[in-house]
Amino acid sequence: MNQEKFEQIKQQILNIGDLPTLPHVALEVARLANSPNSGMSDLVRIIHNDPALTAKVLKIANSAFYGMPKRIESLNMALVVLGMKEINNLVTSICVFKAFPVVPGRPTFDRERFWEHSAGCGEIAKVIGHKLSIRVYGVEFTAGLLHDIGKIVMDQYFHDDFLEALELSETANISMAEAEERVLGVSHTHLGAWLSSMWNLPPNLVDTIVYHHDPSESKDHRILCSLIHLADLVCKQLGIGFSGDHTDVSIVDDPAWSELQQVNPQIEEIDIEQFTIELQSGVERAREFVRIASEQ
């Protein structure tokens, strides 16, 4: 990365002055969900202050995204059924989606397909984690949703340069990260990490944004980064949404596959073709999330 160029880009964005921020409710819910001194009533009180967020949480809780057998009628019930950490993840995901909404009439970079890819990555990471009994504290979906957030920053603030990187990635058959480095001097991982630190996101989410292309570089969250990396590859292989990359991918030859094999050697017994079919349910849940989250 060109550090001087990175500083220039950050300053340009700050000078524009409209960098989206996470609302207070999301930050407060995150604080309460991770505090040993907080209870469900504290989260209910905070979320209820935002009627639109309350309605969206309940709508998603009652959708095919969770597939609950019984209707969830209230935030209290949602917290009992889903738990504080899952509600925190859901609130964060909804607020991030709202910060960078789908922009109609921009065929050059389809944000709806971008969010479909990101949400699909999160859902597939959940399915893989469950299949391999890998515990990463329920953040798989949020981590997947956020892993490419830097691309949205590029699209929003450096649209023409981002389009040039998209074209270069396709014509030169290189990754978007490499194309971005050539055009802008920085990649979406750098901008995503900067944004996530400004949003005070937890270290595990920041790490997946920074290292989802190279999980071995993560010191503290290598397993989560490997999970998101593989889910990202699966999404690209299955054509779930579109995040800008055109390069061919191989899952079993990827180092992240070996990383997860050390956690659970049974990964070698997985029938990839059959497992790919199983992942389709996760894809449909991701599409349901994007559909509801994009509603005004």
* pLDDT confidence bin for 248, thresholds 50/70/90: low
Q: Report percent pLDDT > 70 for the chain.
A: 95
Mapped onto helix, strand or coil, the DSSP state of residue 148 is: coil
Q: What would the pLDDT profile of 55-83 be if each residue is shown by its tens digit?
A: 999 999 999 999 899 999 999 999 999 99
Q: What is the mean pLDDT of the chain?
A: 88
DSSP 186: S
* pLDDT confidence bin for 1, thresholds 50/70/90: low
Question: In this structure, are residues 161 and 12 in contact, taking their beta carbons and an 8 Å threshold?
Answer: no
Domains, the chain, ordered by start: 3-14+104-293 (1.10.3210.10), 21-99 (no CATH)
Answer whether 0.85 is exceeded by the pTM: yes
Pick from 54, 58, 33, 55: nearest CA to 43 = 33
Q: Half-sphere exposure of 212 toward its Cβ, with a 13 Å CA cutoff? A: 34
pLDDT value at position 118? 94
4 to 8, 194, 201: CA distances (angstroms): 6, 15, 25
